[in-house]
A and B are shown apart, each in its own frame.
Chain A
Amino acid sequence: MADNINVEISPLSRVEGHGDLVLNVKDKKIERLIFRIPESPRFFEAMLVGKNWDKPSHITSRICGICSVAHTYASIRATENALDVVPNDMILKLRKLIFHHEIVQSNVLHVYFLAAPDFLGVGSVIPLVETHPEVVNIALRLKKMANDMVRIIGGRAVHPIRTVVGGFTKLPSEEEMYQMKDMLNSAYADLEASIAVFKILELPAFERETEYISLSNKQDYAHYDGNIKSTDGWEIDPGDYLDRIKEKVVEHSTAKHCWANRDAFMVGAISRFNNNYDQLSDKAKEYAEELGLKAPCYNTYMNNIAQFVEVVHSVDDSIKLIDKLLEEGMDESKAMVEIKPKAGRGVGAVEAPRGLLIHDYTYDSDGKIKKANLIIPTGMNYGNMEADMNAIVPDIIERSEDEIRLACEMMIRAYDPCISCSTHFLNVKLINK
């Protein structure tokens, strides 16, 4: 390799000249390594001010097409906590059921369409259609199943409309509950087939222990609710998140970096896995073992495998939830609980597919938002991403610039970062134009 290298990677494809990863090596030593993403939810925070309590979940659902259920529930839970609304057990089970399927939708696409092509050496999902059609077909079938689950419960496959503060505007019918159970049972063949695919993937043997933070509770593998827990031994009520999760301004970035017990921490599938391994279903544990994923895991690249293991758990747990709901009966008259607007502050913390997501709202006595603070998982991961790349680059410094670039790209991708989904404006060149 050359002694000096300069790598710039721009994930934000439409922002020319905006290096989101900048790596300069001089005399085989890292001179500068910066990771920055300009995306920020600040506009949405400002938009929420003055909105009535029934509006924020629908507005924040539009922040992201991939995490729309997570934003919906972080928002609903923040509002319910502020207004002292306590949903009943049926509502909670149905919420956990729909939540599982955003995890499935997102994890499946990330693992099969974005991470697997790297490890299978084809670069992107487009050539994968020819080289590994079975991988594309498995991913599409699992994604379709999860879409149908979200659509049946939430009324739409993305940006659900039936999930509201206080409960659901409409419940799925008993027939739809059985239909969902059949769909889930038919997913097992694809999960089984996936094991063979993931076994041949060679993930880099990189390890760097950090602080892993996620939700955690005694009842289940926490996605929808729980305390905020750290592998460094602390656990808090989400309402106290400001006591532990701090933000700091760093010289090179417009986005603040988060820290807790150390300089940086990680959120996402691997943090959930490390904190809540015991709560996984037996099959998910079995698959984890078969794929070499053990808790605690300190290899960031294994986040991809943890995401797959979570898909298995979500399918298993969904069947359990449906069985319980059918056994206890779905009573439309209990679909909503009473809501009385009042002044107060509420924090909603959930696990988005890519990690801990916090909405923090303060309401006035008319039930209108006075102040909103949204903390997204990618913002929490910035510092850890930089620390990981600072750790891996010296180990591979003898390799070619292209190989170093690929290792850094794969590292960023392993985090499944939320970069920019706010616009989907299409840019094309037409023939003869």
Chain B
Amino acid sequence: MIDRKTDIIRANIKIIGFGNIYMSDDGIGIHVIKELEKLQYFEDFELIDGGTSGIDLIFHLQNSNKVILIDAVDAGQDIGEIILINPDDVKEFITGKGKSYSLHSFDLSEVLKLTKKLGLNKKLTIIGVKPENIGFGQSLSPVIKKKIHHIIAVIKKEIGSWHQEKK
């Protein structure tokens, strides 16, 4: 009988939060990771505070069976609405006009285009919530803060679905 811990380690699922905790709701991914770190359910999972270095997503995808990414996402939904995105469902990653001028504008949209091109996107699920405020600030808007527990429920459900598919 394989214990739960071994099962989790073998499954090799990574849960990553991206964003900046000092840019209000942009930091939702990091706030969720901090909450997961407190929960016994997630103690054997690899939880990653990815900060604002989106390019590293490629290495996490290369070295795992499944990546669940939490970030602030605008897919046309309402503020605070949580959305589950499979990269195949994305028609366009919007980077605005022009090309990247620096690594600093080589953002997650560019990285996701690259993961698609490298054939790594099948392992990825994005859990996004539409932010209310992404200006300078150390705390989440109340409407976004309230969603943390919903996001955690979605993460658990996603892990369950992945295990079901593998059976």
Contacts and interface: CB of A to CB of B under 8 A. Distances in A.
Given A11-B101, A144-B59, A424-B26, A433 B75 contact: yes
Interface stretch (B1-9, B110-118, B149-157): B110-118
A211 to B, nearest CB: 23
A417 interface: yes
Contact of B22 (A59, A409, A416): A59
B29 to A, nearest CB: 9
B53 A10 contact: no
Interface stretch (A88-96, A121-129, A168-176): A121-129
Contacts of B52: 62, 64-65, 158, 421-424
Interface string A1-28: 0000000011111100000000000000
A13 B102 contact: no
B167 interface: no
A423 B89 CA distance: 24
A11 B102 contact: yes
A298 interface: no
A123 B99 CA distance: 8
Interface residues of B, number: 57
Kindly state the interface size class of chain A when it binds its partner: 35 or more
B11 to A, nearest CB: 22
A428 B126 CA distance: 11
A428 B54 contact: no
Contact of B104 (A421, A429, A430): A421
A425 to B, nearest CB: 4
A66 B76 contact: no
Contacts of A418: 102, 104
A403 B100 CA distance: 17
Contact of B74 (A43, A47, A428): A428
Interface in B46-90: 49-56, 58-59, 71-76, 85, 89-90
Contact of B103 (A123, A124, A416, A428): A416
A13 B26 contact: no
A382 B106 CA distance: 20
A426 B108 contact: yes
B136 A43 contact: yes
A344 B22 CA distance: 27
Given A110-B102, A157-B53, A424 B20 contact: yes
Contacts of B126: 426
> Which of A12, A13, A110 has the most CB atoms of chain B within a 10 A radius of its CB?
A13
A147 interface: yes
A420 B51 contact: no
B94 interface: yes
A62 B53 contact: no
A38 to B, nearest CB: 13
Most B Cβ at <10 Å: residue of A9, A114, A416, A417: A114
A423 B19 contact: yes
A109 B106 CA distance: 10
A242 interface: no
A44 interface: yes
A127 to B, nearest CB: 8
A278 to B, nearest CB: 29
A430 B91 contact: yes
Nearest to A13: B96
Interface in A102-157: 106, 109-110, 113-114, 123-126, 129-130, 136, 140, 143-144, 147, 156-157
B50 A431 contact: no
B53 A429 contact: no
Interface of B: 18-23, 26, 49-56, 58-59, 71-76, 85, 89-110, 112-114, 117-118, 126, 128, 131, 134, 136, 138
Interface of A: 9-14, 43-44, 47, 59, 62, 64-66, 68, 106, 109-110, 113-114, 123-126, 129-130, 136, 140, 143-144, 147, 156-159, 409, 412-413, 416-431, 433
19 contacts: A64-B104, A65-B54, A106-B103, A113-B103, A157-B56, A158-B50, A159-B49, A419-B104, A419-B105, A422-B52, A423-B23, A424-B108, A425-B74, A426-B72, A426-B109, A428-B73, A428-B109, A429-B92, A430-B91
